[in-house]
Amino acid sequence: TEQNHDTDVLVVGTGPAGGAAALLLATYGVRTLLVNKYGWVANTPRAHITNQRTMEVLRDLGVEDEALAQGTPPELMGDTVLCTSLAGEEIGRIRSWGTGEDSATEYNAASPCTMLDLPQIYLEPILVTRAASRGATVRMDTEFLDLEQDADGVTARLRDRLRGDEFTVRARYLIGADGARSRVAEQIGLPIAGQEGKAGSMNIVFDADLSHYVAHRPSVLYWVMRPGAHMGGIGMGLVRMVRPWHKWLLTWGYDIDDPPDELTESQAREIVHDLIGDADVPVTITSRSLWTVNHNYATEYHSGRVFCAGDAVHRHPPSNGLGSNTSVQDSFNLAWKLAMVIRGEAGPELLETYSSERAPVGRQIVERANLSRDQFGPIFEALGIAGGSDDEGITRGLAACREENADGEKRRLALTEAIELKNYEFNAHGVELNQRYRSSAVLAEDSEEAWQRDPELHHQSTTRPGAKLPHVWLVDEHGRRVSTLDLVGRGQFSLVTGLSGTAWSSAVEYCREQLGLPLRLVRIGTPQARDAYGDWRRVCEIDESGCLLVRPDGYIAWRHTSGPDTPEQAQQQLHRALDTVLHS
Ligand code: FDA
């Protein structure tokens, strides 16, 4: 229906959600139009923590190296500091983002990718320029106004903000990736649960050489306990690295019941100097804005042919660094489904699984981020300043924690425990990687998964349907390491089996023909994928002659833990699994 539709997918918004959606769709060969109201992408750093799962998405897209070249590496990310000011006393530290000795082992084992600090000003140009170079049409200064949908497509009214005129675009599907004030979500009436405007916060972006105060304890985050730190905001005052060690973003709270009219440049400078603790450091303020902490999540992510992703469907404080990550991962879930439905390889019901799989994740991360914000409370309590304090109170509180007596010991213990609780924000590996999907695009097993450790703190690998394919290193025919994740994905379904899974190999050929589907066969044990370290055998939870059906997004759709009884049975079982998952 090329004639009836101007494009297959219209994506509104070039943030992490929209940029990723357009890049994915273009990579999958889908006609895509990407529009943004403004002339270019984000002009302030915004979200930055880029977790391993997002890096895996970028790796699948072939842009991981570009991201690594633009970002700040884990070595400079992890020594999170709690202090009375950058020049003042330290309250404590937290080894963060998997950089502590024990967690480094866990993070390394979980993924071929590392964490990265990649502010949106660097991430978005990668997504948007790559989308354009792979065939997406990118149109800036183009505002989405409204839409109408029918059985055959979506008609969107757009405004050219340079010329001022309005025009319509006819698309088969529309993705609203238009952020926290999503007009798309509002127009299709997505139900939004939770609370809006819980607390007041401000961002101040500034240039200042702070090497002297930070280079010996390299981190993305310096949390600052100054008078007023209990008020609004994201738990405490925060000085966040954008570029080591001269570009920064400061976050500070205000009383939401008594919001300031505006934040002047001189007020901003005063706050910056206060948190640095040195008024002589030259500071250039480059931007300042007021915003509110939200606790909102949509319980449905689509209506008909219109889908929303990113902040349009989950709005929460930056705690845990989940905003941009979850947005990219929403799009990774949606894009292959749209591509397969548009190509006629899957039935349209497959698209419903986007909402059933991602809405629970959105709710979980909104709850987590808000709880992490509240979990600064015990630090204030340990210092004896719950409810806030002045300079003297903070000094006294810290002094009490250093007293050489039983009371001091008690306070020190409470402070240590309070800081340890922050692992749920700074080392929440499970929150980052343990998503489990339940939907009609997964053939779930009857038994419940047993969590070996705290599922928020620790990643658990499994090949149960609904989980992500475990990463282990294999060795290719050139003797180079290759991740199991590198063998799947890139827009295609894969069947993973072992050397003795020959019945599955012929079942793959049978299904390719029967379903007209580009189905990839991955045989672990062949020279291209040798289990040289024996790690696959350790984690795969299936016999060598069993198989895993892996979706384009790396999630396991179905598994058969042992070999089939006959080759015919293998054909039938794989055919049935694909039919079910694809709703074909
Ligand atoms: P995002 O908001 O990034 O993108 C929305 C896109 O839609 C934009 O391109 C916008 O121009 C476009 N758009 C909106 N309406 C449109 C219309 N009608 N027509 C056409 N285009 C339209 N997070 C964090 O972890 N740490 C932080 O410090 C910050 N700081 C921060 C500061 C500011 C100023 C903002 C706005 C946000 C943050 N965030 C943040 C949140 C973080 O930026 C957010 O979670 C992600 O950007 C969400 O990505 P999305 O792609 O969903 O929306």
- The DSSP result for 301-338, as a single string, is -EETTEEE-GGGTEE--SGGG-HHHHHHHHHHHHHHHH
Alpha carbon distance 496, 407 (integer Å): 59
Q: Are 176 and 12 in contact (CB under 8 A)?
A: yes
The verdict on residue 96 lying in a domain is no
Tell me: do 318 and 413 sit in the same domain: no
Distance between first and last Cα of the chain: 20
Number of neighbouring beta carbons within 10 Å of residue 389: 21
Helix (H) / strand (E) containing 580: helix 567-582
* φ/ψ of residue 71, rounded to 5: -95, 175
The residue whose CA has the least distance to atom 8 of ligand 1 is 13
Sign of CA dihedral 38, 40, 41, 42: negative
Tell me: do 307 and 397 sit in the same domain: no
The residue whose CA has the least distance to atom 53 of ligand 1 is 179
Tell me: do 19 and 126 sit in the same domain: yes
Tell me: do 401 and 544 sit in the same domain: no
The residue whose CA has the least distance to atom 31 of ligand 1 is 46
| Residue 324 Cβ < 6 Å to ligand 1 | yes
For residue 179, report the distance from its CA to the centre of ligand 1, in Å: 5
Q: Are 124 and 70 in contact (CB under 8 A)?
A: no
The amino acid at 198 = K
Tell me: do 570 and 488 sit in the same domain: yes
Q: Are 545 and 562 in contact (CB under 8 A)?
A: yes
Looking at the whole model, is its pTM more than 0.90? yes
Tell me: do 445 and 551 sit in the same domain: yes
The verdict on residue 211 lying in a domain is no
| Residue 233 Cβ < 6 Å to ligand 1 | no
283 contacts: CB under 8 Å, gap ≥ 6:
206, 207, 208, 269, 272, 273, 276
| Residue 320 Cβ < 6 Å to ligand 1 | no
Q: Are 545 and 503 in contact (CB under 8 A)?
A: yes
Angle 41-45-46 (CA atoms, 0-180°, nearest 5)? Answer: 95
Question: Which residues sit opposite 562 in a β-bridge?
Answer: none
The verdict on residue 35 lying in a domain is yes
Helix (H) / strand (E) containing 360: helix 352-374
Integer angstrom CA distances of residue 311 from 198, 366, 498: 16, 10, 41
The residue whose CA has the least distance to atom 35 of ligand 1 is 46
For residue 175, report the distance from its CA to the centre of ligand 1, in Å: 15
Alpha carbon distance 240, 238 (integer Å): 6
Q: Longest Cα pair distance anywhere in the chain, in angstroms? A: 81
Per-run averaged pLDDT (10 residues), the chain, 584 residues: 86 98 98 98 97 98 98 97 98 97 96 98 98 98 98 98 98 98 98 96 98 98 96 95 98 94 95 98 97 97 98 98 98 98 98 98 98 97 94 96 96 98 98 98 97 98 98 98 98 98 97 96 98 98 98 98 96 98 96
- Please name which of 556, 581, 400 lies closest in space to residue 484, comparing C-alpha atoms: 556
| Residue 15 Cβ < 6 Å to ligand 1 | yes
- Please name which of 302, 34, 8, 22 lies closest in space to residue 170, comparing C-alpha atoms: 8
Q: Are 306 and 176 in contact (CB under 8 A)?
A: yes
| Residue 59 Cβ < 6 Å to ligand 1 | no
Residue 392 in 3-state DSSP? helix
Alpha carbon distance 11, 137 (integer Å): 10
User: Strands, E, within 351-438: which ranges?
Assistant: none
Tell me: do 414 and 450 sit in the same domain: no
The verdict on residue 44 lying in a domain is yes
The verdict on residue 86 lying in a domain is no
Tell me: do 311 and 413 sit in the same domain: no
What is the best residue among 46, 140, 328 to mutate for testing ligand 1's pocket, by most ligand atoms within 8 Å of CB?
Answer: 46
Output the domain CATH number for residue 526: 3.40.30.120
For residue 89, report the distance from its CA to the centre of ligand 1, in Å: 35
- Please name which of 360, 370, 107 lies closest in space to residue 233, comparing C-alpha atoms: 370
Number of domain units in the chain: 3
Output the domain CATH number for residue 67: 3.50.50.60
| Residue 190 Cβ < 6 Å to ligand 1 | no
The verdict on residue 361 lying in a domain is no
Alpha carbon distance 546, 563 (integer Å): 5
For residue 87, report the distance from its CA to the centre of ligand 1, in Å: 33
Residue 183 in 3-state DSSP? helix
The residue whose CA has the least distance to atom 6 of ligand 1 is 13
Tell me: do 305 and 345 sit in the same domain: yes
For residue 238, report the distance from its CA to the centre of ligand 1, in Å: 20
Tell me: do 121 and 36 sit in the same domain: yes
The residue whose CA has the least distance to atom 18 of ligand 1 is 144
The verdict on residue 311 lying in a domain is yes
For residue 25, report the distance from its CA to the centre of ligand 1, in Å: 20
Tell me: do 555 and 474 sit in the same domain: yes
The verdict on residue 24 lying in a domain is yes
| Residue 38 Cβ < 6 Å to ligand 1 | yes
The amino acid at 519 = L
Tell me: do 53 and 138 sit in the same domain: yes
| Residue 12 Cβ < 6 Å to ligand 1 | yes
For residue 282, what is the DSSP state?
-
Ligand 1 atom nearest to 44, measured from its CA: 34
For residue 39, report the distance from its CA to the centre of ligand 1, in Å: 14
413 contacts: CB under 8 Å, gap ≥ 6:
none
No. of H helices and E strands in the chain? 18, 24
Q: What pLDDT does residue 2 have?
A: 62
For residue 404, report the distance from its CA to the centre of ligand 1, in Å: 49
Q: Which residue range is the domain that position 405 belongs to? A: 377-421
Give the up-direction half-sphere exposure of residue 265: CA atoms within 13 A in the CB hemisphere: 6
Sign of CA dihedral 387, 393, 399, 400: negative
